[in-house]
Amino acid sequence: MKVLIVDDSVVMRSQIKSSLDGVDFIEVVGAANNGKIALQRLEQITVEAVILDMEMPELNGIETIKAIRKAKYPVRILVFSALTTSGSMATLDALSAGADDFIAKPSGPGMSLENAVEKIREQIVPKLNQFLNEKEKLSLKQKVESPEGSFSEQTFAKKDLSNFIPSLIVIGSSTGGPPAIEKVLSDLPKTLRVPILIAQHMPPVFTASFAKRLGQITGIECEEGRDGEILNNNKIYIAPGDFHMSLVKVSNQVQIKLDKTPHRNSVRPAVDPLFETAANLYGPKTLAIVLTGMGEDGLVGARAIKSENGAVAIQNKESCVVFGMPGAINAAQLQDAEGDLTFINHLVKRVTS
């Protein structure tokens, strides 16, 4: 994968390049100290991924992303983000403008050059690898195995969603998820008839900013879920960063449970705990939606929902940034419906009205 590094800091450009040195599937083909020069490089050389700083002279990160997308350069864009409230809001703006994913800037007291390079490498290599795999994966035909072994052989009847009315909607997503969720939940009725719970792979601070942004976009109350909170039909809940969010029943009321049990599918929050407990409590009245994202998180949970005669809808490959999560469900043939974000938006609007 041919990579262009764009950052006005000589030190950051050097750290990023060092983090990619020796990775056999990555070739750094150029560098630029601002967005204007980056656009010139894109005209001159073949680039498949751009690693982009947000604050730069001449042309900042958001302006550069918009220019790249307007010119239709076929590149993946990763932005560097500060782990602060302002940094998280700027990152969400970047994702909405067309960035594919983000990387946290290494920070902390006494951060050595070696540690900074290692932290960048730990984040950036898997993200570039997922894009490389998407590019090379013409179709997802391999069998998806699950920890349940023989249970993965079980098949389920497809559910007709044309007249399906759920009592709960749960959504799982990862890479490319925030702008996809924004589109799926846009233009909903201002009074929802069911609660919507979302597990998006994001770190702390980012989930709070995302909840605030989603509330502003939809006009519906949207917050990070709180431990022990009773579900409200007319509300959107986001799993807080670094917590699994699940559901429990206490005195005939459904409550949110937050915990820091071990990572699942290498992430926390994970989609599976939310989906599994939704299946247990809402059974056939559950609608699960799996959007763009890397890996297979949500597969086990989707199978649990189908085993209780609930419904599963997934984003289609053509509209995904990464078809990993919905692709795993597609390979296991667990979905009842599949379509682009407009299709899923129409589905959600119908069942929440």
Clarify whether 201 is annotated catalytic. Answer: yes
Under 8 Å between Cβ of 198 and 187: no
Under 8 Å between Cβ of 72 and 45: no
Tens of pLDDT along 293-329?
A: 999 999 999 999 999 999 999 999 999 999 999 999 9
Cβ atoms < 10 Å from Cβ of 71:
11
Tens of pLDDT along 129-161?
A: 988 877 655 333 333 333 443 344 567 889 999
Q: What is the mean pLDDT of residues 29-46?
A: 96
Catalytic residue among 201, 246, 272, 336: 201
Whole-number pLDDT of residue 81 = 87
Clarify whether 263 is annotated catalytic. Answer: no
Clarify whether 174 is annotated catalytic. Answer: yes
**3-state SS assignment for residue 285:** helix
Catalytic residue among 167, 174, 209, 246: 174
- Whole-model pTM? 0.90
Domains annotated on the chain, with CATH? 2-136 (3.40.50.2300), 149-352 (3.40.50.180)
Report the candidate in 121, 270, 296 with the shortest Cα–Cα distance to residue 202: 270
Q: Which residues on adjacent β-strands are paired with residue 195?
A: none
Whole-number pLDDT of residue 320 = 96
Give the confidence band of 181 by pLDDT, cuts at 50, 70, 90: very high
Catalytic residue among 19, 297, 319, 336: 297
Q: Is the pLDDT of residue 209 over 90?
A: yes
Burial label for 284, CB within 10 Å (0-12, 13-18, 19+), is middle
Report the candidate in 21, 110, 93 with the shortest Cα–Cα distance to residue 52: 93
CA Rg, the chain, in Å? Answer: 20
| Distance (Å) of CA 205 to CA 29, 143, 240 | 33, 37, 8
